[in-house]
Amino acid sequence: MTGTSCDGLDLAYIETNGTDIMAMGPSQIIPFEPKYRKILLERILLRVPSHFADAELSKTIANFHSHHIKNFIHQNQLTVDAIGFHGQAVWHDPTNELTVQLGDCQHLANLTGIKVVGQVRQNDVKNGGQGAPLVPIYHLALAAKLKKPTAFLNIGGVSNITFINADETLIAGDTGPGNALIDDWVERHTGIPQDTDGRYAAQGTINQKFLDKWLQHPFFTETFPKSLDRLKFHHMLDECSVLTLEDGAATLTEFTVKAIIKGLDMLPEQPNQLIICGGGCHNPTLMNGLRQYFKNLVSASDIGFDSDAIEAQLMGYLAARFFEKLPSSFPTTTGVKSPTIAGELFLPEFI
């Protein structure tokens, strides 16, 4: 998995029949080198139709994945049936039925000699869904022994929530920005692609005028399921240009918090606990902000899960569900017309 934060490749091994999780194996994060990350971010920011025909970059992405996947398998002495491959998200426009993840699935299968299940969002979009979020079905598997109702909150580049009712009904959607706005703001000013430990935000003062204005965005009145692109709120960085580094970081961090709270308020009832995963759980300023509004908040790692590996594990889980012909997206999670199987199979070609 390489997500909207565009900061690295997450690898994880999982043993599953597509329903039950038999074992969670090793995981690893491969940080992107600055040059490679710059190439990806330039493509994301370009926002033009050439996204759809960038065969060279798709092969580059597959080469990058193949190299690290083969090392991961060798180092951990793994036997692998299939690779669940997300690719690099560069465009997400559900209003116009578009979602684009670059990465040549066939090339990856050829390079690794392993079956690849890729293009995991396309069937959902073709069936009337938004193509996101896809993680709720895996959150349901993780919550098998948890008291319900419960909820998972993934804070990646974008934040998304999964609510699991007492009868295991899923409600899901994006709540708004996650780390992306904060990361991009800090990188503009320092060259460092994140607010490490939320230090800059902790030193700043929230600009209430900007915050109140941003929270009037119509996205926050839309009901679940809903999803958004990484750049949906990117114009807010320009509005922050009059602020100091610290005040901008504080204001953008609070915006992420308040957007999440608005999402929680849309749920049919409050969950017993809110389980945080993704990079945002490592930002104490962000986490403390959330705790002011929701006390029973825990990191996924606090209850035995690997908070950094969940979305990579999801890719393996989706691949298993593909082989078992089990749906992975639902009307209440993506808005798809009917439960839909995620993915397309790519078999290695030996020439």
Domain that includes residue 74, residue range: 8-128+340-346
pLDDT in tens, 47-85: 665 556 688 999 999 999 999 999 999 999 999 999 999
Res 120 pLDDT > 80: yes
Percentage of the chain beyond pLDDT 70 is 98
239 falls within a domain: yes
> What per-residue confidence (pLDDT) applies to 53?
65
Q: Mean pLDDT over residues 185-191, rounded?
A: 95
Q: Verify that 161 and 246 share a domain, yes or no.
A: yes
pLDDT the model gives residue 90: 87
User: Among the residues of the chain, which ranges form H helices?
Assistant: 34-46, 55-76, 105-112, 122-126, 136-142, 180-190, 199-203, 208-214, 235-239, 245-265, 284-291, 310-323
Same domain, 233 and 290: yes
Are 80 and 54 within one domain? Answer: yes
Q: Are residues 61 and 169 in the same domain?
A: no
Domain harbouring 177, CATH code: 3.30.420.40
351 falls within a domain: no
pLDDT at residue 52, as a whole number: 63
Q: Per-residue confidence at 168, pLDDT binned at 50, 70, 90?
A: very high
- Residues 287-300: tens digit of each pLDDT: 999 999 998 999 99
Are residues 266 and 170 located together in one domain of the fold? Answer: yes
CA 224, distance to chain mean position in Å, is 17
Of the candidate ranges 86-95, 138-147, 301-310, 329-338, the one whose mean pLDDT is the lowest: 86-95
Do 144 and 122 fall into the same domain?
A: no
Please report the pLDDT score of residue 9 as a whole number: 97
Is 332 within the bounds of a domain? no
Residues 175 and 255 in one domain: yes
pLDDT for 351 beyond 60 = no
- Of the given ranges (44-48, 108-112, 160-164, 217-221), which has the lowest mean pLDDT? 44-48
Same domain, 101 and 180: no
Task: Dump pLDDT digits (tens) for 40-54.
Answer: 888 887 766 555 668
| Alpha-carbon dihedral 335, 318, 310, 173, rounded to 10 degrees | 0
Residue 3, in any domain of the structure? no
DSSP characters for 63-122?
Answer: HHHHHHHHHHHHHHT---SEEE---EEEEEEGGGTEEEEE--HHHHHHHHTSEEEE-TTH
Tokens 């083969």 sit on residue: 70
Q: What CA–CA distances, in Å, run from 256 to 6, 82, 157, 251? A: 18, 36, 11, 9
Assess whether pLDDT exceeds 70 at residue 210: yes
pLDDT above 90 covers what percent of the chain?
A: 87
pLDDT value for 49: 58
Which of the four pLDDT bands, split at 50, 70 and 90, describes residue 161? very high
* Domain assignment present for 335: no
Q: Are 66 and 112 in contact, with CB atoms under 8 Å apart? A: yes
Asked if residue 315 belongs to a domain, the reply is no
Give the global pTM: 0.95
Is the pLDDT at 207 greater than 80, yes or no? yes
| Dihedral sign (CA 176, 4, 128, 320) | negative
Residues 264 and 293 both lie in one domain: yes
What total number of domains does the chain contain? 2
| Both structure tokens of 275 | 């389980």
- Long-range contacts: 263-267, Cβ < 8 Å, 24+? 263/159, 263/161, 263/173, 263/175, 263/176, 263/224, 264/151, 264/161, 264/175, 264/293, 264/294, 266/223, 266/224, 267/151, 267/161, 267/163, 267/171
CB atoms < 10 A from the CB of 15, how many? Answer: 14
Contact 322, 314 (CB under 8 A): no
**Shared-domain flag, residues 103 and 161:** no
**Average pLDDT, whole number, for the chain?**
94
In this structure, is residue 317 part of a structural domain? no
Q: What confidence tens digit (pLDDT) does each residue in 5-57 have?
A: 888 999 999 999 999 999 999 999 999 999 999 998 888 877 665 556 688 99
147 and 93 together in one domain? no
Residues 155, 103, 90, 130, CA torsion sign:
negative
Band of residue 117 on the pLDDT scale cut at 50, 70, 90: very high
**Within this chain, do residues 106 and 141 fall inside the same structural domain, yes or no?**
no
In a domain, 23, yes or no: yes
- Considering only residues 95 and 59, tell me which one the structure prediction assigns the higher pLDDT: 59
The whole-number average pLDDT for the span 150-177 is 96
Calculate mean pLDDT across residues 259-276.
96
The whole-angstrom distance between residue 349's C-alpha and the CA centroid of its chain comes to 30
